[in-house]
Amino acid sequence: MFHDRSWLDWPFLDGHHRAMARDIEAWCERELGHEHDADADTDTACRDLVRRLGAAGWLKHVIGGSEWGGAGEYIDTRAVCLLRETLARHSGLADFAFAMQGLGSGALTLHGTPAQKHEYLARVGRGEAIPAFALSEPDSGSDVAAMACTARREGADYVLDGEKTWISNGGIADFYVVFARTGEAPGSRGLSAFIVEAGTPGLEIAERIAVIAPHPLARLRFTACRIPAAQRLGEPGQGFKIAMQVLDIFRTSVAAAALGFARRALAEALQRATTRKMFDQVLADFQITQARLAAMATGIDSAALLTYRAAWRRDQGQSVTREAAMAKMHSTETAQQVIDAAVQMWGGIGVVSGHPVERLYREIRALRIYEGATEVQQLIIARQTLKAFAEA
Ligand code: COS
């Protein structure tokens, strides 16, 4: 299968990233591609992938702190991106399983106490515990500050009431990082984060949600769900900022996953274009195909440049709110177009269930919505641009 490796020479990456890219590629070729029953039983497939990713050491890269088994003191965003890109090129579900270990535990890496990290983070990094990030609600998706779920302090406990939805890993997670209103101030300044273990009385999986590219997803209901105050993550009232900091890391990695899908689609398209005969030529001989291939290749490189710029900036300790938003928006939107073009080149075969481009067509769609829809990224980019103008 065609795989353009020229981006590995870009100055955003270091030597250890290049070595890692070779190793994860070899692991994917050896270990993935056998999940043909994954659509039928995604829960089992996901648990199995988490266990194998943990055993192989890849999950060390989505947690921070070597004391807890992390690959380094901080999450290496470029490593997470290149791992996601490679996993996504081979298997959408493997990428999902990998990424959710990071998204679900990101708040612990950034704000967990040593006791919380010891209890939860280390197990996530070994693939022995599955976390989930519970932020969205039925009436508060893009507008996080409008969340209604409450956490009321009662003595040494907090009591949670409300609903969370679109929660990835919902139903299979061992614990949930839940954001709720604690009311220190109105809006975004009155939220806090909590660790709620699966099976806690008052936490119920209200609904399992089936989506076009199957993965574990659920709506959660909290009814007088009592947890010890020691399960709070970070300071009271800091929940909104904690959520945004986690998204700043993982939004860039969503861009990388989209890039992986797009690269696979280009490889599939090239395979088709150079072998499919029609009108005494192959598809690739037509200028109309060449124009499409040129747009696909350029779209992929531009998405890769934005993605690794954002990842590199974060690894330098610089703010990435604007850069991560640009990367996520551009990469997911571009990947959708690249995949659509690949389906078109495959013709009827491209829409047959289970064909690689048909799978990609389903897998890419949600990435333009979750972890901040394209329209939210536009809002963020515009605000940052206007702010820079006002400050100039
Ligand atoms: N890091 C740290 N702090 C941040 C931040 C970031 N990336 N982004 C915002 N903040 C801070 C702001 O500085 C502000 O702080 P002060 O209260 O001290 O002034 C506070 O958080 C509120 O920020 P803002 O006014 O920008 O909040 P808004 O309510 O306008 O919302 C958006 C901002 C729309 C960007 C936010 O709600 C968002 O990202 N929505 C999408 C959520 C999402 O991705 N959902 C998917 C869930 S995961 S599948």
Phi, psi of 289, deg, nearest 5: -70, -40
Burial 79-102 (b: 16+ CB within 10 A, else e): bbbbbbbbbbbbbbbbbbbbbbbb
Q: Amino acid letter at 8?
A: L
Active site amino acids: 371
Ligand 1 atom nearest 240 alpha carbon: 21
How many angstroms separate the CA atoms of 30 and 52, rounded? Answer: 12
Pocket, ligand 1, Cβ cutoff 6 A: 135-136, 141-145, 188-189, 240-241, 244-245, 247-248, 321, 370-372, 376, 379-380
* Tens-digit pLDDT string for the chain (392 aa): 888 889 999 999 999 999 999 999 999 999 997 655 566 799 999 999 999 999 999 999 999 999 999 999 999 999 999 999 999 999 999 999 999 999 999 999 999 999 999 999 999 999 999 999 999 999 998 999 999 999 999 999 999 999 999 999 999 999 999 999 999 999 999 999 999 999 999 999 999 999 999 999 999 999 999 999 999 999 999 999 999 999 989 999 999 999 999 999 999 999 999 999 999 999 999 999 999 999 999 999 999 999 999 999 999 999 999 999 999 999 999 999 999 999 999 999 999 999 999 999 999 999 999 999 999 999 999 999 999 999 99
Distance 248 CA to ligand 1 centre (A): 10
Q: Tokens 């956490």 correspond to what residue?
A: 151
Distance 318 CA to ligand 1 centre (A): 17
Neighbouring CB atoms inside 10 A of 233's CB total 22
How many angstroms separate the CA atoms of 325 and 306, rounded? Answer: 10
The candidate with the shortest Cα–Cα distance to 257, out of 147, 370, 144, 347, is 370
Query: Among 184, 240, 328, which residue has the most ligand 1 atoms within 8 Å of its CB, making it the best to mutate?
Result: 240
Strand ranges (DSSP E) for the chain? 131-134, 150-154, 157-168, 175-181, 191-197, 203-208, 217-228, 232-233, 277-278, 281-282
Distance 227 CA to ligand 1 centre (A): 26
